[in-house]
Structure 1
Amino acid sequence: MAFTSTVLTVTTGSTETVHDLTRDCERFLADAAPGRDGLLHLFVPHATAGLAILETGAGSDDDLLTALHHLLPPDDRWQHRHGSPGHGRDHVLPALIPPYATIPVLNGRMELGTWQSVCLVDTNKDNPERKVRLSFLG
């Protein structure tokens, strides 16, 4: 058994985004787990971002942001009040889109479905830079 870890810095900018991390994960595993089996764990140490596994590029990423707008409207109804108007919703996001994900790794590759991608979900327009910790255990 071995454990290795690294931290990615991701610039998400000043708009809500679903940022695909799949290639970053693949590069990490190429160095950390060539030909090995184990688990890839991702963690976002932020109170206003999460990780999701979903299809991207065919509209699902935009659909997710639209669904979040319906579930968590960016207005002033939230008790948590600081930052941009509606920022309180960003602090509720990790209860729906968790700040962690664990993916099986076989022979050095993530066992994702054909259309699945690993994504950072960030609705917080006040924080343009995020950290994502990638850890491999195997």
Structure 2
Amino acid sequence: MRQASGTLTVTAPRQGLHLITDAVAAWVADQRMSEGLLTLLVRHTSASLLIQENAAPAARRDLERWLARIAPESSDYEHDDEGPDDMPAHLRSALTAATLSIPVLDRRMRLGMWQGIYLCEHLRSPRRREIAVHLMGE
């Protein structure tokens, strides 16, 4: 059994879902493990990770609109240290995921045909986000 770990840094230019599948796949391939389990952790409380439809841009846009509706910006929140989008960002993160676990086989993630990995940026301004990656396998 081997292990590999590292950090992927992603720049999110705007609020929304940003496809990161290719960057994660490249990191997995570089580890040269034929099979194992990949764990991803976004190291922030106002961003999250999702596995979701990656072929139809409308699906991504619908998800972005849904998140905005379910946790809208409002002056009603007490927590606004970074501005009016701060607390909604935390709520949207709570609705999605900070971690993902993905099986690896033949040095490739076992995602479905239409699945992609997204960094969900919940703040409006551009951000650099860190994703801790860990692969355990052979």
1:7 aligns with 2:37: no
TM-superposition CA deviations, 1:46-90 (whole Å, max 9, x none): 011110000134111111110001100012222212222232111
Percent identity over the alignment is 32
Q: Which has the higher strand share?
A: 2
Alignment match, 2:35: 37
**52, 58, 71: which one aligns with 2:50:** 52
One-letter amino acid of the structure 1 residue matched with residue 48 of structure 2: G
- RMSD between superposed Cα atoms in Å: 1.4
Q: In the TM superposition, what are the counterparts of 1:23-102 in structure 2 within 5 Å?
A: 23-34=22-33, 36-58=34-56, 59-102=58-101
Q: Normalized against structure 1, the TM-score is what?
A: 0.91
Off by >4 Å, runs of 4+ in structure 1: none
2:8 is aligned with what amino acid?
L
Scaled by the length of structure 2, what TM-score is found? Answer: 0.91
Instruction: Write the letter of the residue equivalent to 1:7.
Output: T
Q: Say if 2:109 is the partner of 1:110.
A: yes
**CA distance in structure 2 between the aligned counterparts of 1:127 and 1:91, rounded to whole angstroms:** 16
Could you say which residue in structure 2 is the equivalent of 1:122? Answer: 121
1:4 maps to amino acid:
A
Q: d(CA) in 2 for partners of 1:17 and 1:69?
A: 10
